[in-house]
Structure formats: C-alpha cells, structure tokens
Structure 1
Amino acid sequence: MNHPGIPANGQSGTARWRLYLDLIRWDRPAGWLLLLWPSLSALWIAADGFPGLHLLAVFVGGTILMRSAGCCVNDVADKEFDRHVKRTARRPVTAGLVSSREALVLGAVLALLAFALVLTTNRTTVLWSFAALAVTLLYPFAKRVVSMPQAVLGVAFSFGIPMAFAAVQAQVPPLAWLLLAGNLFWVLAYDTEYAMVDRDDDLRIGMKTSAITLGRADVPVVMACYGAYLAVWAAALLPRVAVVPFVLALGAAAAQSAWHFTLIRGRTREGCFRAFRVNHWLGFTVFAGVVLGYAMR
C-alpha cells in the first residue's frame, strides 16, 4: 500500500503533473480554441463591439477550464472503449497511469474554478452555466445511444454563445439561438472529420458516430455543414457589421472549407485528422471578421 504522500506507481510529483497535463490535453490547444472562437465572437456581437477586459478574461479562462474538465470526464466514461482505439489507447486513464477517481477529482476542481469565474458575471449567466454543465456531462454517454452524438457535442461546444449574451445583456435573445444553430453545423463538420479518423475502430467496438451513420455520405454532409454554418452566420450578422471585412473573412473561411474537402475526400486517417486539427483557424477567421466588422462600421 502506498504511503499517502508518495505518488502511485513510484512516480515523482513532476511526472504526475505531466500525466495530468496530458489528461487535459494541455499540449493540444486545438480543442479549446474550437470552443473559444464562437464564444468570443458572441461576446463581440452581444456587446456591439469590444466587451471589456473582464468578460474577455472570464470567457477565455472559463473555456480552457471547462474543456479541460470535459476531457477528464470523457476519458473516464470512455476508458473501456479507448483501449481498443489506436489513437486513444495511451491516454492516461485508459493506460492505467491515472485512476478514474483522480481524473474525476481533477475535473471537478477545474469545473469549480470555471464556476468561480462565472460568479463574477451576473445571475442570468450563472443559471445558464448549469445547463451548459449538464450538456457537457451528457455528451460522453450519448455516444452509446445516439446515432449522431456529434449533435450533442455541437450543443455543448456552442453553449458559450448564449452564455456570452447572458453575460453582456442579462438575457438570451433569438439572435443567440440563431448563432448557436449555425455553430452547430460547424461542430458537426469538424467532429465528423474527427470521427472519420476512428471509423474502423469504432465499427469494431460498436461505438455510434456520425461518420458511421452517414457512411459514404460523410464527405458531402461535412461540406454541406460548413456551407450551412457560414450561411447562417452571414444572414445573422451582415445587417449588423461592416460588410467588406466580414465578407472577406467569410470568403477566407469558405476557402479553408474547400481545402478541407481535399484533405478528407480520400477518407484517410491522416487527412481527416489534419482537417480536424486545423479547424480552429476557420473559427478564428470568422472571429476576426466579426471583430473587424464591428470596428469598421
């Protein structure tokens, strides 16, 4: 039996922290950037321009913390599946290097820190944060019963949008839900690319994903989702921002989505994974268009 002060497996404290950082994907920021750009875009839209340093810090910090907490919960929920998937078999919980209890405690601490940030906003945002947490916890288990679990992830990854409006305006207007619906298409696009990487493994272990459900329609649906995302955001925002910078940004984002087609059309693991990993640049491009669109009115 290990002494309480000695890490399990004889690991040093430094090695233990490295495992925790690996657990929350600290060296892979693409995940939290996918959450960050639509949330920051919504902050700018809700505030009709720069939202202030306080809310900017709350949403950047909260996004990183909640994504990290979500990784902890997801890895515990999926550990029996992940050991059969090439890409995930060496994750700390799956490999037995971090216990499920440790991962859940770390996730709870990170979620509480994020909630502490939310408490500095207003009552409306605090109330909506409970709904955001519920969807975040639901997603890892949706993969067992829902044919398109990416839709659940889409809601979870888009919930920063209504929360941004709540933080700025103390309400969630119809515009926020329209932007969330548009962002949902983007999440469906990039997470289907992600699911295409693991399709063979997921078929073998019985996991449900959009890549499996869509079959050979996967590539056309991904491209249609990119188009729907950009179309919805264009329709929602063109009357509100300077047209030229925003249209240029949307054009650049559309060009990126066309590049994604060249990456995923062969359905190779490498191409699909690369397409997923660079998606945050598409989100950043739209965010830059929003910022410039409000600045140049």
Structure 2
Amino acid sequence: MTDTASPSGAVADAQPRNWVDRRAPASWRPFLRLARADRPIGAWLLFWPCAWSVGLAAVAGGAAPDLWTLALFAVGAVAMRGAGCTYNDLVDRDIDAKVARTRSRPLPSGQVTAKGAAVFLAAQLLVGLAVLLSLPWFAVLVGACSVLPVALYPFMKRVTWWPQAMLGVCFGWGALMGWAVAFGRLDAAPLLLHAAAFLWIIGYDTIYAHQDKEDDALVGVGSTALLFGERTRPIVGGLYAGAAALLALAVFAAGGGAAAYAGVAAFAAHGAWQVMRLDIADAALCLRLFKSNREAGALVFAGFALDALLRM
C-alpha cells in the first residue's frame, strides 16, 4: 500500500477538481472533506428514501409532494450524512490509516485533530436536531429512534460480515419519515418502503465495498464484499430484485397507480443494468456503478411524484 495523500490535502477517492478543492476557503477544506462535501453522492443516497416516503405519502393522500418537507429532508440529509461521516472517521481513524483509499482522509492524514472533528460533529448534529424538531411530534419520535443504529454502525465491521445491513437500517430510515410527517403514524406502505431501501442499500454498498476488499481483509474487518466474493453479481441482483418487489408492494399498499409502478420498473431496469455491468475486479467501475444509484433513487421518486400530481 502506497501513500496516497496529496500535498494539497485532497482525498484520494474524491472526484478530481471537485468544488471543495477548487473553490472552498483553504481553512474550511479539511472539515468539508471530513463531511464528504467533496463527494456528495452519500447525501443523495441518504435523501432518496426520505423523498420516496414524501412522494408515496402524496400518492396516498392525493396531493402534491410537500416541498417544505422535501427541503427540510434535503438539509437534514446533508447535515446528517456529514455528521455520520465525521463520527465514522473518528471511530475508524486508526483503521483508515492502514487502508490505501482512506489514509488521505482528514483525520488519519492529520489535517483535522480528533478534538476539532468532535466539535465539528456537534455542530452538524445541532443542524440535524433543528431539522428534526421542526417536524411533527410523531415524526420527531420516529427520527429519534434512528440514533441507536447510527451510533452502532461504525462498529459493525469489527464484529460481523454484514456492516452493510446496519447501513441499510440507517440510510433507509428516511423511508419512514415522510409518511410519519404526513399522517402522524406508520402503516404498511412506509414499512415496505424501508424494507426496499434496506435491500437496495446492502446491494449498492456491497458494490462500493469491493474497492476496499483487499485492505479490509488485511486489516481484519468484515464486509459483504468479502462475504459474497465471486457470488456478488447474483446476490446483488437478488437484493435489487427484492428491493423492486418491495417497492411495488409499497405502491400497492399506498393505492398507487401506473406512474408509480413505472418508476419502480425503471428502478428495476437500472438495477439490472448495474448487475450486468458489474466487474468486482474493476474498482473504478465499482465506484461508477455505486454512484449511479443517485439516478436509480431519482427514478423511484419521479414515478411517485408524477403519480401524485396526476391524482390532483
């Protein structure tokens, strides 16, 4: 493993010439990198289950998706994704220092101290808390229940081959939130939506984890990439198929129509395309396929939103 730190402080797996490295004030860059602002894909992937839930609630309620709720969830996704990355990097800084792709991150490379990262974490959590407290009380309660799985997630790779499953619980939590905001309760539709997001997230994060499988094996941490190995393609295909089936059941439970089902079908087609393209030996391709799930999530929301608008 060779040293991948850049003299400019850029992180090895960030997009070259990203906005943080080009435009952000120099003093802000280490903290923006810590929050992964140079790699916004994680915020998108956290946001989409929230948006799905808002869209599906709109389908069930016969109204347009609530733009204020979507805006709050967008802010919350950015803040909580950044907070999650900061917390994860604090916990994993010794492991990250041993992995080629992650040793240039702000904590293991010394750009940010542990104390500075902790203060930054607190600031991001305050933003997330402000978003949460702006929601109806039942949604606040549902959101608060995500704290324990989020806190446990960084430790899962030390004790299980399935850290992606805990990530699925955490990143899929938003699938409950939009419905909770709209109706003040949870029904079958959002629970099915969360289950769909859970399988989808395990699938795409397994693809992502294939970038690090050699280092993970050397360091001694687990992942579904290591667990599935050469069986990754059929297993990820099954996970994506299960996610699509559960999305269709969620649409059925919400009383959705053709446009919503079309969004699910487009999602399924996108997942099939990913599986057909996948080569677990090609780290760059794995990263591109992982990032393409931004579009996969958008297809579902577009179908839900169109279905809701057609009902008005």
Same-fold call, TM cutoff 0.5: yes
Which runs of 4 or more aligned residues in structure 1 lie more than 4 Å from their structure 2 counterparts after TM superposition? none
Match of residue 46 from structure 2 = 35
**How far apart are residue 90 of structure 1 and its match?**
0.5
TM-score normalized by structure 2? 0.86
What residue identity is the alignment partner of 1:90? Answer: S
Match of residue 5 from structure 1 = none
Change (3 A) 1:174 1:220: same
Matched, 1:53 2:67: yes
**How far apart are residue 216 of structure 1 and its match?**
1.9
1:89-238 equivalence runs, <5 A = 89-238=103-252
Question: Partners in 2 of 1:234 and 1:151 — Cα distance?
Answer: 21
What residue identity is the alignment partner of 2:237? Answer: M
SS at match of 1:143: helix
Matched, 1:15 2:29: no
Q: Which piece of structure 1 moves more, 15-24 or 259-268?
A: 259-268
Structure with higher RCO (Cα < 8 A, 6+ apart):
2
Match of residue 10 from structure 1 = none
SS at match of 2:47: helix
**How far apart are residue 148 of structure 1 and its match?**
0.6
Question: Partners in 1 of 2:266 and 2:189 — Cα distance?
Answer: 24
What residue identity is the alignment partner of 2:301? Answer: F
Match of residue 91 from structure 2 = 77
Change (3 A) 1:138 1:266: closer
**How far apart are residue 163 of structure 1 and its match?**
2.1
Change (3 A) 1:257 1:53: closer
**How far apart are residue 151 of structure 1 and its match?**
0.5
Instruction: Indicate if the aligned counterparts of 2:260 and 2:307 stay in contact, CA closer than 8 A.
Output: yes
SS at match of 1:78: helix
Question: Partners in 2 of 1:266 and 1:123 — Cα distance?
Answer: 44
What residue identity is the alignment partner of 1:97? Answer: Q
Instruction: Indicate if the aligned counterparts of 2:49 and 2:173 stay in contact, CA closer than 8 A.
Output: no
Instruction: Indicate if the aligned counterparts of 1:263 and 1:274 stay in contact, CA closer than 8 A.
Output: no
**How far apart are residue 128 of structure 1 and its match?**
2.1
Match of residue 36 from structure 2 = 25
Aligned match for 1:242, one of 248, 251, 257: 257
Instruction: Indicate if the aligned counterparts of 1:23 and 1:72 stay in contact, CA closer than 8 A.
Output: yes
Instruction: Indicate if the aligned counterparts of 1:24 and 1:68 stay in contact, CA closer than 8 A.
Output: yes
TM-score normalized by structure 1? 0.90
1:273-292 equivalence runs, <5 A = 273-292=287-306
What residue identity is the alignment partner of 1:133? Answer: V
**How far apart are residue 149 of structure 1 and its match?**
0.9
**How far apart are residue 133 of structure 1 and its match?**
2.2
**How far apart are residue 262 of structure 1 and its match?**
3.4
Match of residue 44 from structure 1 = 55
Change (3 A) 1:246 1:168: closer
Question: Partners in 2 of 1:70 and 1:16 — Cα distance?
Answer: 21
**Percent of pairs identical after alignment?**
35
Runs of 5+ consecutive residues of structure 2 not aligned to the other structure:
1-23
Match of residue 4 from structure 1 = none
Match of residue 18 from structure 2 = none
**How far apart are residue 223 of structure 1 and its match?**
0.9
**What RMSD in Å do the two structures reach over aligned CA positions?**
1.7
What residue identity is the alignment partner of 2:256? Answer: V
Question: Partners in 2 of 1:187 and 1:36 — Cα distance?
Answer: 12
Question: Partners in 2 of 1:105 and 1:141 — Cα distance?
Answer: 21
SS at match of 1:63: helix
SS at match of 2:160: coil
Question: Partners in 1 of 2:280 and 2:149 — Cα distance?
Answer: 33
Write out per-residue CA displacement over residues 93-119 of structure 1, whole angstroms, 9 at most, x where no aligned residue. 111110112112111111111111211
Question: Partners in 2 of 1:253 and 1:229 — Cα distance?
Answer: 9
**How far apart are residue 22 of structure 1 and its match?**
0.9
**How far apart are residue 147 of structure 1 and its match?**
1.6
